[in-house]
Amino acid sequence: MQNDECRMMNSILHSSFIIGHLIPMPSASRDIVVLNKLGLHARPAMQFVDVANQFKSDIKVVKFGEEPGEADGKSVMEMIILAATEGTKMQINATGDDANDAIKKLGDLFDSKFGEDE
């Protein structure tokens, strides 16, 4: 009896797992490099968060290198804590219906050095 219940639970869990995969949440990601000399200091971090908040998608920012980290792209504090210097390799990940648009706009910010001269 217990085995049957166990099997049934497994089957339910398994099918919901499959359904989860049949309807995937749209997602997009982009590898970027910090190009501005001052790095991801407070102003660019706030600029990033401002743009990220224009989208419904969840935004995660991953920092690679010797001191890796991950931040919620909608949290100024978390973004500043990344302390990403010039040359740091990072990845922006978006999950949600507007993921593609979000990735494009957020990637453009890095490409434009957040409007900084150098």
Partner 1 sequence: MKLRDFIVADAVVAELKAGDRDAALRELVTSLATAGALPASAVEEVVAALIKREQNGSTGFGKGVAVPHVKHPAVKQMSGTIGRSAGGLDFAALDHQPVYSIVLLLSPENQPQQHLQAMNIVFSNLQKDMFRRFLRQSATQAAILELLDEADQGK
HSE at residue 77, side-chain half, CA atoms within 13 A, is: 0
Q: How far is the CB of 64 from partner 1 (least distance, A)?
A: 16
Q: How far is the CB of 8 from partner 1 (least distance, A)?
A: 43
12-25: burial string, b at 16+ Cβ within 10 Å, e else: eeeeeeeeeeeeee
Nearer to partner 1, 46 or 62 (CB): 46
Nearer to partner 1, 63 or 102 (CB): 63
Set 30, 38, 41, 46: catalytic member: 41
**Contact status, residue 111 vs residue 48, Cβ threshold 8 Å:** no
Nearer to partner 1, 14 or 37 (CB): 37
Q: Is 41 a catalytic residue?
A: yes
